[in-house]
Chain A
């Protein structure tokens, strides 16, 4: 039913735009805006979901976490702000679930001031309710945010305590058991940065992963993912690009650990409406070109 309504509304609208274009009228940009909004809203109201299969670049991150021996040390850095959160937060949550499920030790930090707030949301909404046995200071800890962008990495690559004398809650690092054998980032088994701006995955590669020779994985907004491709697979073991990457990771996680099936997997859910919106944009490009060639045939100027 929903599918039919959406198809009629969206298809009809597109045909109307095509008709206008063939008649040689240019479509007002506001119509384009209304259309995009309506498409997305319809797709949300009548939920559509597609299956996802992990591509190699995502699978390699999953396999890395999957195959590290239990108790490995993994840093997860929240390098994003609320604006980017819908796209990359699902990645961070999927990482938390996978890492703790595998009984690794998880060190949270953030290079973005706004990241620490989102980090505490993750801790309260995902980590604490789903992993009640995880002990603070033993299984995970939160270093919080430090100003200084990649300068922070410059320091912690040789010495954590110099930059973080204490964690986000004011405990000295020496009082946390999981910091006993950690001096710097070099002692980690895997670094994961989730972000989409600067500092982000790229800065982590350049200032931490590369100089420290520590395995590095990333999650990034789709916009910056192509820039990170050149680093894969040499300087980056894998990368989750955009909601699609997040959805692939979620699908892989559910496949391997069915107990997460009933948990919220926002990226998977978001893929349906996105695909719809995509199709509409493709249609816009086609219609735009029809309009262009029509006007050219008539000898009109653009």
Chain B
């Protein structure tokens, strides 16, 4: 019972939504399903947020290693909840938009979360550099092809590429690095992308069918 009913729900919902694609008057089911998802996700957040609080509160109460950081996390979480729920400092009061300029919630977003966010993202520049240094080595045919393609594109995106190859006469302008880079993007790269995308969609179809037919159901748990 604990597995049959969810299976039934899953198959029925999935099948109905597949069918709804073909029936004009049923298309709004898709919108409704999206809205349902949003609503369920908020409720689920009570579990996630609860988990966050519990994990960190336990660390604090046990004074386990790094408990002080857990205090910081809990404080940050609490401050956001209070300023956001009661819209503290919001010029338009409780009816105002949460991202209203000047509200504490928005200030915290702008001056604390934003810089953290951008910096974490910016670390990528370092990692791209170390990955280029370490991984792009002509070890075998595949790696060499990868390396050459990356190299041409990199050159093509800078003035260096232009400087290096603009001596090539106009009738062979295709071989100038910037043009070669564009060609790689639009011919072999496009072909590879297409193969990947077609493959993915067939993978999704067979995966979805396994789900709808109930062959694959490990994520629904067991009978206990």
- Are chains A and B touching directly in their complex (CB below 8 angstroms)? yes
Task: Provide the residues of chain B in CB contact with A36, threshold 8 Å.
Answer: 125-126, 129
Nearest neighbor of B136 in chain A, beta-carbon distance = A285
Q: Is there a chain A Cβ closer than 8 Å to B130's Cβ?
A: yes
Interface centre among B37, B101, B137, B157, by most A CB within 10 Å?
A: B137
* Contact flags A103-129 to B (C-beta < 8 A → 1, else 0): 000000000001011001000100000
Chain B binding site: helix, strand, loop or mixed by DSSP? Answer: helix
Task: Provide the residues of chain A in CB contact with B147, threshold 8 Å.
Answer: 285, 289
* Contact flags B179-191 to A (C-beta < 8 A → 1, else 0): 0000001100110
In the complex with contacts A36-B129, A148-B34, A229-B190 CB distance below 8 A: yes
Taking a contact as CB atoms under 8 Å apart, the answer to whether B154 and A278 are in contact is yes
Task: Provide the residues of chain A in CB contact with B159, threshold 8 Å.
Answer: 50, 275
Taking a contact as CB atoms under 8 Å apart, the answer to whether B193 and A230 are in contact is yes
CB distance from B162 to the nearest CB of A (A): 10
A302-B138 Cα distance, complex, nearest whole Å: 12
CB distance from B94 to the nearest CB of A (A): 13
In the complex with contacts A83-B117, A279-B160, A288-B134, A148-B110 CB distance below 8 A: no
Task: Provide the residues of chain A in CB contact with B67, threshold 8 Å.
Answer: none
Nearest neighbor of A281 in chain B, beta-carbon distance = B132
In the complex with contacts A120-B101, A151-B35, A83-B121 CB distance below 8 A: yes
Mark out the residues of chain A between 138 and 168 whose CB falls within 8 Å of any chain B CB in the assembled complex. 144-145, 147-149, 151, 154-155, 168
Q: Is there a chain A Cβ closer than 8 Å to B65's Cβ?
A: no
Taking a contact as CB atoms under 8 Å apart, the answer to whether B99 and A32 are in contact is no
Q: Is there a chain B Cβ closer than 8 Å to A244's Cβ?
A: yes
Task: Provide the residues of chain A in CB contact with B194, threshold 8 Å.
Answer: 230
CB distance from A55 to the nearest CB of B (A): 8
Taking a contact as CB atoms under 8 Å apart, the answer to whether B117 and A81 are in contact is yes
In this complex, the interface size class of chain A, counting residues with CB under 8 Å from chain B, is 35 or more
Q: Is there a chain B Cβ closer than 8 Å to A44's Cβ?
A: no
CB distance from B78 to the nearest CB of A (A): 20
Mark out the residues of chain B between 109 and 128 whose CB falls within 8 Å of any chain A CB in the assembled complex. 109-110, 113-114, 117-118, 120-121, 125-126, 128
Nearest neighbor of B189 in chain A, beta-carbon distance = A226
Taking a contact as CB atoms under 8 Å apart, the answer to whether B133 and A288 are in contact is yes
A50-B157 Cα distance, complex, nearest whole Å: 12
Count A-B contacts at CB 8 Å.
118
CB distance from B43 to the nearest CB of A (A): 14
Nearest neighbor of B100 in chain A, beta-carbon distance = A120
Mark out the residues of chain A between 219 and 253 whose CB falls within 8 Å of any chain B CB in the assembled complex. 226-227, 229-230, 244
Taking a contact as CB atoms under 8 Å apart, the answer to whether B118 and A83 are in contact is yes
Q: Is there a chain A Cβ closer than 8 Å to B38's Cβ?
A: yes
Nearest neighbor of A120 in chain B, beta-carbon distance = B101
Task: Provide the residues of chain A in CB contact with B129, threshold 8 Å.
Answer: 32-33, 35-36, 280-281, 284
Q: Which chain B residues have a beta carbon within 8 Å of chain A's beta carbons?
A: 30-31, 34-35, 37-38, 95, 97, 99, 101, 106, 109-110, 113-114, 117-118, 120-121, 125-126, 128-130, 132-134, 136-139, 147, 150-151, 154-155, 157-160, 185-186, 189-190, 193-194
Q: A114-B109, A244-B157, A292-B137 are in contact. List 18 more A-B contacts (CB 8 A).
A: A29-B130, A85-B118, A147-B38, A155-B31, A168-B97, A229-B186, A229-B190, A278-B154, A278-B157, A278-B158, A281-B128, A281-B132, A282-B160, A284-B133, A285-B136, A287-B133, A288-B132, A292-B139
